[in-house]
């Protein structure tokens, strides 16, 4: 009886291992890398990124970016889906828009100017 149980348990564990090897996603998770450039002569006070895909909704806040500077931002978001940005400049002007919809690369750029 113990031999039958140990053989059954072993086969169950082998089946679990094979199922994990066959059906699990073993690829490296990819991250959307976005370089934001401040091409305006005014300080960017803040940038809010809002993005969703499937059932996931995320927001990300970035602080000040000086005129002429750039910032690399990592988003857990697929390319080509686009993401919302709300940019607040040092003089109080705000821009809101959907950026990079349809761009399929994993490394993207957003150039901000007024």
Question: Considering the chain, what is the average pLDDT of its residues?
Answer: 90
Share of the chain above pLDDT 70, in %: 92
96 lies in a domain?
A: yes
Q: Say what the pLDDT of residue 29 is.
A: 63
Strands 81-89 and 70-75: unpaired
40-86 pLDDT per residue, tens: 999 999 999 999 877 778 899 999 999 999 999 999 889 999 999 99
Domain with 49, as residue range(s), is 32-112
Q: Which residues pair with 31 in a beta bridge?
A: none
Is 17 part of any domain?
A: no
User: The CATH number of the domain where 63 resides is what?
Assistant: 2.60.40.2890
Does residue 76 fall inside a structural domain? yes
- As for how many domains the chain has, the answer is 1
The answer to whether residue 21 is domain-embedded is no
Residue 25 falls inside a structural domain? no
Check if the beta carbon of residue 91 is closer than 8 Å to that of residue 42: yes
Asked whether residue 8 is assigned to any structural domain, the reply reads no
Percentage of the chain surpassing pLDDT 90? 62
Would you state the pLDDT for residue 34?
96
* pTM score over 0.75: no
Distance CA 73, CA 75 (A): 6
- Examine the pLDDT at 4 and tell me if it is beyond 70: no
């Amino acid at each position: 009886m113990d031999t039958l149980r140990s053989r059954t348990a072993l086969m169950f564990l082998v089946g679990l291992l094979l199922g994990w090897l066959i059906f699990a996603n073993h690829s490296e998770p990819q991250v959307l890398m976005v370089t934001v450039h401040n091409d305006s002569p005014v300080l960017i006070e803040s940038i809010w990124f809002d993005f969703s895909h499937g059932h996931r909704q995320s927001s990300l806040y970035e602080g000040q970016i000086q005129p002429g500077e750039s910032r690399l931002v990592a988003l857990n978001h697929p390319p080509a889906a686009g993401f919302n940005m709300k940019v607040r400049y040092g003089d109080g002007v705000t821009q809101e828009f959907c950026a990079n919809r349809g761009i399929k690369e994993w490394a993207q750029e957003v150039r901000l100017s007024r």
